[in-house]
Structures are given as structure tokens and as C-alpha cells.
Amino acid sequence: MNELPLIEHFKRKINYVPCIAGSDLLVETIIIDFDLSELLPYINAVAEKAKYIPELNWIKFKFHGFPHKYQDGVWDVAVHQNTISVRAFLDRDTADKVSDECINYINDIIFHKDEIIPSYKEWKQPKAIDIIKYLPKINCGKCGFPTCMAFAAKLALGDTDLINCPELSKEPDKRQKLLELLGN
């Protein structure tokens, strides 16, 4: 039995990504008229690199849309209650198109829900103090944060990405450790 309706009616909100100082990247938030919480274990079972925190009714995962010059068509999606946030975009048109694709993807999970074995596996959030061990610790500010520790704190929350630290390209071993720690 499938009790959740498909997403058909929604509102869109566009904002700048709040956690990157001076960023002109956009996040699109889709607001729907029902709660998606019961779907999260099903998303957790099938979505790529899903990070599910049941206590918060929150999940984040990677979504493949069409290629884009910023991220080669891999987008970060977070679902919480009746909102779906998709990021990060350089322009509104791309944000709308990728968000539409993402809604189709979630509708597909709703439609096939009864065929999916839900996963209640919880994502253990990494600690900033563990992340900082593998960052360059030069506080250059290129990531948009004044210190490596501030960047580590945002990484722990999943509010920024390793790609924003260009200095890590000089330290592939540490970058790999961070990828493992962050579950990427």
C-alpha cells in the first residue's frame, strides 16, 4: 500500500548559499504541501551517498542531473519535512531544471516505495576536531571562511564541500582521508 501522494504542487524559493562568504551560488528550496519524513528511509535505501539522521527527520544525498560547468551534474539534495533543497547553482534556469529532475526522482521513489526495503541506517556526523587534522591549517581564506577550523565546522555539518579548499589538491592523501571521514 502506498500512502504518500506524488509531488504535484509546490512552491520554489531561491537564495544564495548562506555558508560561503561572498558566494554567488544559489540554492533552490522546493516547498510541498505534505510531510516527506516517512519516505526518508526509502530514500536512504536507494539514493547515492545518503546521510540520514532519523532524529532530525533529515537526509542529504547526491543527485545526478544533467552536466553543468560547476559540478558536472552532481548536486547536493537535502530533504526535511516538507522541504527539498537542491544546490549549488550559478543561475536560476539551471536551478529550476535540476530541481524539476529531482522532484521526478523523488516521485519515482514514492511510486516504487512498496518495492523498496527501507534503510534505517543512521549517518554519524563527523566531528570538526577530527576533520581539522587533515586540513592544511594555513588559514588562507580561499574556501570563503577565515580559518581552516571554521571550514571544518561547516564540513561537519555538510554545509560546504571539500572542493572549496583548493589547497587540498596539493595533499591527495589527506583529501582521501577526508573523503572517507565525510562519507563522500
Minimal CA–CA distance to 184: which of 166, 167, 162? 162
The reply on whether position 42 binds ligand SF4 by CB under 6 A is no
Rg (CA), the chain: 17
Residues in 123-142 at the binding interface with ligand SF4, rule: CB under 6 A: 135-136, 138-142
Nearer to ligand SF4, 44 or 164 (CB): 164
Q: Which is nearer to ligand SF4, 11 or 127 (CB)?
A: 127
Is 143 a binder of ligand SF4 (CB under 6 A)?
A: yes
How many residues touch ligand SF4 (CB under 6 A)? 13
Residue with Cβ nearer ligand SF4 (100 or 167) = 167
- Scored b (16 or more CB within 10 A) or e, 132-142 reads bebbbeeeeee
Q: From residue 5, how far is each of 35, 52, 94, 110, 135 by CA, in Å?
A: 10, 22, 26, 8, 44
Close Cβ partners of 108 (under 8 Å, ≥ 6 residues apart): none
53 vs 149, which CB is nearer to ligand SF4?
149
d(CA 153, CA 128): 5
CB of 121 to ligand SF4, least distance (A): 29
Q: Which one, 83 or 147, has the nearer CB to ligand SF4?
A: 147
Q: What's the min distance (Å) between Cβ of 174 and ligand SF4? A: 11
Distance between CA atoms of 152 and 161, rounded to whole angstroms?
Answer: 10
Pairing of strands 48-53, 58-64: antiparallel
Of residues 152-171, those binding ligand SF4 (CB under 6 A): 165, 167
Q: Which residues of the chain form contacts with ligand SF4 (CB under 6 A)?
A: 135-136, 138-143, 145, 148, 151, 165, 167
